[in-house]
Amino acid sequence: MVMLALDTSTRYASVALVRERELVAELTWQAGQRHSNDLFERLNWLLAAHHLTPVDLTAIAVATGPGSFNGVRVALATAKSLSFALSLPLYASPTLDIIAWGAASAGATGTLYALLEAGRGQVYTARYRSDRERQTAEPWKPLSGYDVLTPGELAQRIAAESLVGQSEQQEQPVFFCGEWSPATQAALAAGLGTRARFAAAVGGRRASWLAELALQQAQRGEVSDALSLEPLYLRRPAITKSTKFALPSQVSQISQDSDRAGDNESAPGGEETADALHR
């Protein structure tokens, strides 16, 4: 299997190339608002540097969000288009799952909260339980779904949950991973005190984490439907035009129309995506 993994969910973007369960190459960078141009430049380099073309790929993995509305669309439209054009299996994972998986793989144990800034003073978040048995025996998913909360609301929820069946002396540390602002960290620290533990400030996400989840999905036979797969936004974006029922040749135009209503980013679609990787 030669898998290409794509994640442009936030200002950080990452791509990885995996061959037979081994990482061949990975690029992670600050894309800002340049997701589309940066992605294709790096994909072209990644494939050329390893003497590959799109037709050599046998699987695609993609992060579905939440995150930047436009950023999420870039990787998703590209992945769906490659899947359509090259008849490749597509494996999708929510961005919060990827973040938490990376922390768990690095050795974080106990209760994990994956975080991403959502704007409007809120964060996207999900709660996970990390232990070796759970990581290897079950699909990697949050314990209770995905939420959009203020940091204060999240701290209050964690504090309330810890009171169930535990005394104050027995309260365990809570580990936060992902991307957050100084204000978010300060609010969580104020609400949880010394229980709040934060991942290193030099973070970002690695597409190889996404690839690891995709390889597990492939083992279980869990292939995503490229036609029906849509972003996980958690709340309605300002742009609501959907590519859900678009043909491959229509994805490019839909993306361009939507992006003109947003921040003018777009991602080529259908066979144009494969062609773009040759140029």
Instruction: Choose between 171 and 52: higher pLDDT.
Output: 52
What pLDDT, on a 0 to 100 scale, did the predictor assign at position 165? Answer: 53
What pLDDT, on a 0 to 100 scale, did the predictor assign at position 25? Answer: 97
CATH value of 96-198 in 3.40.309.10, 3.40.50.80, 3.20.20.140, 3.30.420.40:
3.30.420.40
pTM: 0.83
Q: Domain spans of the chain?
A: 2-94+206-276, 96-198
Q: Buried b / exposed e across 87-109, counting CB within 10 Å, b at 16+?
A: ebbbbbbbbbbbbbbbbbeeebe
Same fold, 2-94+206-276 and 96-198: yes
What pLDDT, on a 0 to 100 scale, did the predictor assign at position 130? Answer: 86
Q: Which of 206, 185, 215 is nearest to 102 (CA)?
A: 206
Give the length of the chain: 279
What pLDDT, on a 0 to 100 scale, did the predictor assign at position 204? Answer: 76
Instruction: Choose between 136 and 29: higher pLDDT.
Output: 29
- Going through 77-203 in order, the beta strands assigned E by DSSP cover 90-93, 110-119, 122-130, 146-149, 174-178, 196-198
Residue 267 has pLDDT above 70, yes or no: no
What pLDDT, on a 0 to 100 scale, did the predictor assign at position 97? Answer: 97
* Confidence band of 276 (pLDDT split at 50, 70, 90): low
CB 73 within 8 A of CB 258: yes
CATH value of 2-94+206-276 in 3.40.50.2030, 3.40.50.720, 3.30.420.40, 3.40.50.1100:
3.30.420.40
Judged by phi (left if over 0) then psi (alpha if -120 to 50, else beta), residue 145 lies in left
**CA–CA dist 163, 172 (Å, integer):** 11
Q: What is the mean pLDDT of the chain?
A: 85
* Confidence band of 266 (pLDDT split at 50, 70, 90): very low
Single-letter amino acid, residue 224: S
What pLDDT, on a 0 to 100 scale, did the predictor assign at position 55? Answer: 96
What pLDDT, on a 0 to 100 scale, did the predictor assign at position 269? Answer: 46
pLDDT tens sequence across 208-254: 999 999 999 999 999 999 999 999 998 875 554 544 444 454 444 43
